[in-house]
Structure 1
Amino acid sequence: MPYLSLYRKYRSQNFDEIVGQEHVTTTLRNAIERGRIAHAYLFSGPRGTGKTSAARIMAKCINCESGPTPTPCNTCPVCTAITKDKLFDVIEIDAASNRGIDDVRDLKEKVRVPPSQARRKVYIIDEVHMLTREAFNALLKTLEEPPGHVLFIMATTEPQKLPPTILSRCQRFDFRRLTDAEIAGHIRSLCSREGYSIDDGATDLIVKSADGSMRDSISILDQLVSFSDGAITAADATLMFGLVEKSEIITFMEAVFSADAQQAFELFQKFFDAGKSFSLFLRLIMELLRDIYLMRQGLNPPRDSYADAERDTLRARARALPRPTLVALMDEVARVEDRIRWEVYPRIILEILIIKMIDLAAGVDDADAARPAPAKSKAAAKPRPAPAAPEPEPANQPAPPDQEPAQANAEPAPEPDPEDPPEEKDPAQDGGFDAAWKSILQSIRKKNLPRYLVFADAAAHMPDENTIVLSYAPENRFKKESAQEKNYADLLRQAASEKFGRELRILFRIDRGGDDETPPHEAEERAVEPEPQPEEPEAQNLSLFEQINETFPNNKELS
């Protein structure tokens, strides 16, 4: 007999065995007992929470030979056939691969045929959100008024993708994400039934890897059973799946809090070389920061599994770190956790995160770092000498007549303003434009990393004191077009204005190689300047054709 995986072997066979969904199972039991079974149900929720299992149990309850009953016998031929997936009247359809209008038309034809073995035909449509719009439209009438011998049960992980016309024709049940305690208890129960031992460390690692999915946790357990010799330990789970232990995270974060970048990067390199899970790495960092935050507020973490020495270390750290710093660290980790799954090079993003966390823990504010130093700082460093006090003059004493022309022709001496800063040198001349451009890029990087990456691939130069030209290679045409968008260009113009102390004209072009001067018919430049005021006559006198060219400067690329 072929091996049956644990999640199939211990699949729920009645409502009592479904873990953590009492709000659903209680309602369905009552509906069956009172004869209030609807013609269509929608089960929605995260993966591995029991949606398809509940649909199969519902089919048993309706078609059991002793039913309809909320507790199927699981011994009659109908219940046994449903368990083995051999009953012709219970049809499970994968909407991801049968999503077209032709598939729905075929289903509509088969719906008319009465059941051959069971009391009612049950159609279980899994991942129903994958159906096409045309397929949904074809299903509407059948779903609204199906034959009396048919029951539809649809399951989906993304109910927001279903049309409102479908949702309004179903009774919807939302399956919730399972808690860590529920998953851990079920894992220990399965190990006891299978005759295996498992320690708490391994259970915690399985629960964190499952991310609220019971099916995922049982699949991980199944692999660990094959790997171990009957006693599953945390070391086995760490070695097999590249999981990160809590003690490793504490050591890593202590290096971050101590601003020890060398040790932090060495530990991260070890994680990377061992093939650790980046998503679990970030999740454990977030949980550790949350626990420190709760300790600072005088609360206990939800699942305090720390050793005494670790708990003392975290409490000391909680007293030392300000609350805004902890909140900023959690915000930064959450932002990276949200985008890491889509990154092609996640290691680079995580290395940047480490640097940012070290800066935040050390009290370096990104906003203050990105803001240029105030101009009067130099004045404070080199104060002007105070002006000599003027000699007192007699009150109401008229000026002599012979001195009036001289006083009228003489220019008044400028009075020093202690608040005015001394005249500064142009950054393009003091240190060169390259240094100024690097400073502008660093300012943008601290404010918005994706936009910094767009500007960093450009070769910038300053042909005159009021213009900056960004040249992109032909293969970076997409980045050039992104840089020309208003939100990107406004950020660049703001950073350049803060650096140079004046509004600058920004031009973008594609560098085709050869001479520095691009021929007029090949130039692809676009100026980014402050928006013109409506009273400018030149903008108002443009013809319609000229206005279109001004609005779409690259329209010749369409030819």
Structure 2
Amino acid sequence: MSYLALYRVHRPQRFEEVVGQDKIVKALQNALREDRLSHAYLFAGPRGTGKTSIAKIVAKAVNCESPKEGEPCNQCASCRDINNGTFMDVVEIDAASNRGIDEMRDLREKVRILPAQGKRKVYIIDEVHMLTTEAFNALLKTLEEPPSHVIFILATTEPQRIPATIKSRCQIYYFRRLTLEEIAGRLKKVSEAYGMDWEEDALYLVARRANGGLRDALSIMDQVYAYKGERITKQDVLDVLGVVDDVFLAHLLDAVLSRDMKRVIEMLGQALNEGKEAQQLARETVFYLRDLLLYKHLGDKADFYVVTGDNVHFLEEQKGKVDQDALLKALRIMMNSVERLKFSEGNRFLLEMAFLEMMDILSSSPGKLVEGEDEMTGDKKPASGKSKTPVKEKARDEGEKVLWQKILAGVKEKKIPTHALLSQGKFIGIKDDVIYIGFKKGYRFHKERMEERGNREILEEVLAKIFKKPLEIQFIFLDDDQYNDIMVKKAIEYFGEDVVQIRD
């Protein structure tokens, strides 16, 4: 027989084997024992939490030849056939690939036929939210007045997309995410059954990364087992998942807090050169900042996502160096970077810029890295003896920044890919109902895509809403020799040389 994935081998076959859904299991067992099953159920919850598994156990229980206290025996012919997928009266339908009205009309005709093998016909419709509106309407009448020999079990990860008319005809059970301890406990039993030797930290790392889904946890375990064999360490799991550990993240944040730009860039380069993805690094940083925020307020009672027990001392050292507002701003920066990195080719550059921006926010002692040198570009400052920006210029810069962020936010609401393109540009200014937006030469692709009709129209709509009038849009190239660019010269004439400049 061919190899079966761990999550298939260890799928619950009886109610007593289900992990974490005790209230749902008890309610269904009572209904089965007292023969008070409803004609339609809606199982809603995150992926990998037992929806389809419990649906199959219900199907076995109603067709079992010798059930006991609502549990199927798993020994009779009906139970064995359902386990093998050969039972004619239990029909599984994937709504993602059978989502049209024709399929639902066909189902409506077939439910009239009496069971061929068992006592009841059970239809399990997975990812039911994928059905079209017409298909839902075709299913509606059958759900309202089904034949007495039919039970419908609908499963979905997105209950908000199910029409109210469908929900009102079903008993709804909401499946919860499994706790860390519940997943780790099941993984430990599986590892013992296969003779695997897992470090405890490795098991808990897999449990955390499963995000409350036991199926995901078993899939990760299967993947690591195939890669490493029976003896598995925490580092093996990190290698397979392509993530960095909490010690690396702690040292990276230390470098950020101490404003050690060189160290930050070196550490990011090291991780990327080892094959880590920029988006994953940004996501891991989000998780670490989240753990730090919770630890700052909850202490040892915090439920950590990436930080392990042995490394809590890093959080203890760092919590006093940042305040809550700065931490929340840093979280927003990194979360936005995760989204932007999905659509950008300059992944390393964006990641570095996000960390440098976070450095300014989290640093407890703002200032220049080197006396007389610009922090972001490294350009020498004129020795004028005045280091502060004049009040008017600073106010103007702040106003432009707020306006640009408002424009970006409006575009993001309409279309995220367009926002990812536009966010690489720089707001230059507005003159005579023309808005000028500059792109460095390395972002030719972003400029050209923004000039396409669809993206331009989205930006025009946002601008018209903000300024209460239509604006013409001019996209300009900016480079180190910007004075050779005719369009930039024109912008300089309008706005002044101090406005049209390259800012990383």
Question: What is the CA distance between 1:277 and its match in structure 2?
Answer: 5.1
The aligned residue for residue 399 of structure 1 is none
Question: What is the CA distance between 1:266 and its match in structure 2?
Answer: 2.0
Question: What is the CA distance between 1:440 and its match in structure 2?
Answer: 7.7
The aligned residue for residue 359 of structure 1 is 360
Give the secondary-structure state (helix, strand or coil) at the position aligned to 1:4. Answer: coil
The aligned residue for residue 225 of structure 1 is 225
In the superposition, relative to structure 1, how do residues 97 and 511 fare at CA in structure 2: closer, same or farther (>3 Å)?
Answer: closer
Counterpart-to-counterpart distance in 2, 1:488 and 1:262: 43
The aligned residue for residue 551 of structure 1 is none
Deviations 1:86-141 (A, max 9, x none): 10110101111111111111111111111111110100011111111111111111
In the superposition, relative to structure 1, how do residues 364 and 228 fare at CA in structure 2: closer, same or farther (>3 Å)?
Answer: same
In the superposition, relative to structure 1, how do residues 267 and 449 fare at CA in structure 2: closer, same or farther (>3 Å)?
Answer: farther
Question: What is the CA distance between 1:481 and its match in structure 2?
Answer: 3.3
Superposed counterparts of 1:214-253, under 5 Å: 214-253=214-253
Counterpart-to-counterpart distance in 2, 1:330 and 1:277: 19
TM-score if structure 1 supplies the norm length? 0.69
The aligned residue for residue 485 of structure 1 is 461
Counterpart-to-counterpart distance in 1, 2:473 and 2:408: 22
In the superposition, relative to structure 1, how do residues 238 and 104 fare at CA in structure 2: closer, same or farther (>3 Å)?
Answer: same
Give the secondary-structure state (helix, strand or coil) at the position aligned to 1:215. Answer: helix
The aligned residue for residue 78 of structure 1 is 78
The aligned residue for residue 508 of structure 1 is 472
Counterpart-to-counterpart distance in 1, 2:73 and 2:241: 39
Question: What is the CA distance between 1:462 and its match in structure 2?
Answer: 8.1
Question: What is the CA distance between 1:85 and its match in structure 2?
Answer: 0.7
Question: What is the CA distance between 1:323 and its match in structure 2?
Answer: 2.9
Superposed counterparts of 1:346-385, under 5 Å: 347-362=348-363
In the superposition, relative to structure 1, how do residues 48 and 462 fare at CA in structure 2: closer, same or farther (>3 Å)?
Answer: closer
Kept in 2, the 8 Å contact 1:242–1:274? The answer is no
The aligned residue for residue 26 of structure 2 is 26
Kept in 2, the 8 Å contact 1:483–1:489? The answer is no
The aligned residue for residue 317 of structure 1 is 318
- Structure scoring higher RCO (CA < 8 A, sep ≥ 6) equals 2
Deviations 1:493-532 (A, max 9, x none): 9xxxxxxxxxxx99515699xxx99xxxxxxxxxxxxxxx
Deviations 1:341-364 (A, max 9, x none): 853445554333212211111259
Kept in 1, the 8 Å contact 2:463–2:470? The answer is no
Give the secondary-structure state (helix, strand or coil) at the position aligned to 1:98. Answer: coil
Kept in 2, the 8 Å contact 1:480–1:510? The answer is no
Counterpart-to-counterpart distance in 1, 2:427 and 2:3: 62
55-64 or 287-296, which deviates more: 287-296
Kept in 1, the 8 Å contact 2:434–2:473? The answer is no
Kept in 2, the 8 Å contact 1:44–1:174? The answer is yes
The aligned residue for residue 394 of structure 1 is none
The aligned residue for residue 327 of structure 2 is 326
The aligned residue for residue 343 of structure 2 is 343
Question: What is the CA distance between 1:261 and its match in structure 2?
Answer: 2.1
Question: What is the CA distance between 1:291 and its match in structure 2?
Answer: 3.6
Counterpart-to-counterpart distance in 2, 1:83 and 1:423: 75
Counterpart-to-counterpart distance in 2, 1:100 and 1:423: 63
The aligned residue for residue 194 of structure 1 is 194
Kept in 1, the 8 Å contact 2:322–2:364? The answer is no
Question: What is the CA distance between 1:188 and its match in structure 2?
Answer: 1.1
Question: What is the CA distance between 1:252 and its match in structure 2?
Answer: 1.1
Q: Which runs of 5+ in 1 are unaligned?
A: 366-380, 382-421, 428-435, 494-504, 518-559
The size of the alignment, in residue pairs, is 433
Question: What is the CA distance between 1:220 and its match in structure 2?
Answer: 1.2
Kept in 2, the 8 Å contact 1:44–1:158? The answer is yes
Counterpart-to-counterpart distance in 2, 1:326 and 1:511: 35
Kept in 1, the 8 Å contact 2:21–2:176? The answer is yes
Kept in 1, the 8 Å contact 2:341–2:350? The answer is no
Superposed counterparts of 1:112-511, under 5 Å: 112-276=112-276, 281-297=281-297, 299-300=299-300, 301-303=302-304, 305-307=308-310, 310-337=311-338, 339=339, 342-345=342-345, 347-362=348-363, 444=403, 454=422, 470=436, 475-486=451-462, 490=466, 507-509=471-473
Kept in 2, the 8 Å contact 1:126–1:154? The answer is yes
CA RMSD across the alignment: 3.6
Question: What is the CA distance between 1:179 and its match in structure 2?
Answer: 1.8
Counterpart-to-counterpart distance in 2, 1:137 and 1:194: 48
Question: What is the CA distance between 1:331 and its match in structure 2?
Answer: 3.7
Give the secondary-structure state (helix, strand or coil) at the position aligned to 1:259. Answer: coil
Superposed counterparts of 1:58-69, under 5 Å: 58-67=58-67, 69=69
Question: What is the CA distance between 1:298 and its match in structure 2?
Answer: 6.2
The aligned residue for residue 482 of structure 2 is none
Counterpart-to-counterpart distance in 1, 2:398 and 2:115: 75
In the superposition, relative to structure 1, how do residues 115 and 11 fare at CA in structure 2: closer, same or farther (>3 Å)?
Answer: same
In the superposition, relative to structure 1, how do residues 120 and 482 fare at CA in structure 2: closer, same or farther (>3 Å)?
Answer: closer
Counterpart-to-counterpart distance in 2, 1:340 and 1:178: 30
Counterpart-to-counterpart distance in 1, 2:248 and 2:105: 56
The aligned residue for residue 378 of structure 2 is none
Percent identity reads 38
In the superposition, relative to structure 1, how do residues 221 and 66 fare at CA in structure 2: closer, same or farther (>3 Å)?
Answer: same
TM-score if structure 2 supplies the norm length? 0.76
In the superposition, relative to structure 1, how do residues 3 and 119 fare at CA in structure 2: closer, same or farther (>3 Å)?
Answer: same
Counterpart-to-counterpart distance in 2, 1:46 and 1:479: 34
Q: Which runs of 5+ in 2 are unaligned?
A: 367-385, 412-418, 438-446, 477-485, 488-504
Counterpart-to-counterpart distance in 2, 1:87 and 1:349: 54
Give the secondary-structure state (helix, strand or coil) at the position aligned to 1:173. Answer: strand
Q: Could you say which structure has the larger radius of gyration?
A: 1
Kept in 2, the 8 Å contact 1:62–1:69? The answer is no
Counterpart-to-counterpart distance in 1, 2:120 and 2:474: 67
Question: What is the CA distance between 1:64 and its match in structure 2?
Answer: 0.5
In the superposition, relative to structure 1, how do residues 29 and 441 fare at CA in structure 2: closer, same or farther (>3 Å)?
Answer: same
In the superposition, relative to structure 1, how do residues 101 and 297 fare at CA in structure 2: closer, same or farther (>3 Å)?
Answer: closer
Kept in 2, the 8 Å contact 1:205–1:243? The answer is no
Question: What is the CA distance between 1:459 and its match in structure 2?
Answer: 9.9
Give the secondary-structure state (helix, strand or coil) at the position aligned to 1:125. Answer: strand
Counterpart-to-counterpart distance in 1, 2:423 and 2:6: 52
Kept in 2, the 8 Å contact 1:209–1:280? The answer is no
